[in-house]
Structure 1
C-alpha cells in the first residue's frame, strides 16, 4: 500500500459520523435552514457560503461579501474569509482547518473539529444567545496565596517521606513463575 493511500485511510478513519451529524444539526439550527437532502456534509460546506452565513449569524458583519459565483478561487476565498472571521471571533489558530482540508476533502474530521471549536467559543460570548456546540470550556480559577500560606506549605512533610510502603515492584511477576528442577 502506498504512503498516500495509507495517509488517506488514516484520515478517513478519524471521521466520526455522529460528530458530523451533530455539527450539521447545529448549523441548520443556527441558520434556520436544512441542508439539501441527499448531499454529503462536506459537499454542502465545500464552497464556503454556508460557513460564511454561519459566522455572520453568530457575529453579524464578520464576512462582508459572500461569493456565490465566480469559479473555484472565489469559493476558496469564502473559506479563507470564514477562517479569518472565526479567528477574529476568538477561535485559536491551531483549531482552524486548512482550506485544502475542505476544498479537496483531505481532512473533513479537522473541519468538524473547527466547527466544534467555533461552537465552544460561542460560550465565551454573552451576546450570543443561540444554540451551542460541544462542551462548555472551563474557566480559569486563579488563586492567590499569601506568603504565610506558601511558607506553611514548605514545612509539610510529604506523605511518603520516611515510609517504605510506597510504590515498588515487589511481588510482581512477568509471565509464568520460574521453576528450577534439580535431578531430573
Structure 2
C-alpha cells in the first residue's frame, strides 16, 4: 500500500457518519432548510453557501457577500469568509478546518469537528437560544484563598498516593534470603 493511500485510509477512518448526520441536522435546524435530497453532506457544504448562511443566522451579516456563482475561486472565497467569521464568533483557530479539507474533500471529519466547535461556541452567546450542538463547555471557576488558608494547606500531609496505615514489611521474608559469597 502506498503512503498516499495509507494516509487517505487513516483520514477516512476518522470520519464518523453519526457525527456528520448530527451536524447536518443541526445546520438544517439553524438555517431552517433541509439539505437537497440525493446530495451528500460534503457536496452540499462544498461551495460554502450553506456554511455562510449558517454563520449569518448565528451572527447576522458576519459574511455580507455570499457568492452563488462564479466558479471554484468564488466558492473557496465563501469558505474562507466562513472561516474568518468563525474566528470572530469565538471558535478557536485550532478548531477551524483548512479550505482544501472541504473543497477537495481531503478531511471531511475535520469539517464536522469545526461545525461541532461552532456548536460549542454558541453556548457562550447569551442571545442564542438553541438548538445547541455538542456538550456545553465548562466555565472557569476561579477561587480566591486568603494567605491564612494557603499557609494552612502547606501544613497538611497529602495522601494522594494513599496511606499504608503504619504497616511495614518488617519481619516478612519472601523466598530465600540473600547470600553473599566471598572469595569466589
Q: Structure 2: which 5+ runs fail to align? A: 169-184
1:9-36 CA-partner distances (Å, limit 9, x unpaired): 0000001010000000000001111001
- 2:20 matched to which residue of 1? 20
Q: Per the alignment, do residues 146 and 112 of structure 1 end up closer, same or farther by CA in structure 2, a change over 3 Å counting?
A: same
Inter-CA distance 165–123: structure 2 relative to 1 (3 Å threshold): farther
Q: How many residues align?
A: 166
Q: Which residue of 1 aligns with 2:143?
A: 143
For 1:122 and 1:130, how far apart are their aligned partners in 2? Answer: 8
Q: Could you tell me how far apart the structure 1 residues matched to 2:92 and 2:167 are?
A: 46
For residues 86-97 of structure 1, what are the structure 2 equivalents within 5 Å? 86-97=86-97
CA distance in 1, matches of 2:164, 2:8: 55
Match of residue 67 from structure 1: 67
Aligned to 1:172: none
Work out the CA distance in 2 between the residues paired with 1:60 and 1:24. 20
Matched, 1:85 2:85: yes
RMSD between aligned residues? 1.6
Task: State the TM-score, normalizing by the size of structure 2.
Answer: 0.87
Q: How does the TM-score come out when normalised to structure 1?
A: 0.87
Which 5+ residue runs of structure 1 have no aligned equivalent?
167-184
Q: Cα distance, 1:158 vs. partner?
A: 2.4
Residue number in structure 1 paired with 2:125: 125
Partners in 1 of 2:167 and 2:86 — Cα distance?
53
Matches within 5 A, 1:31-46: 31-46=31-46
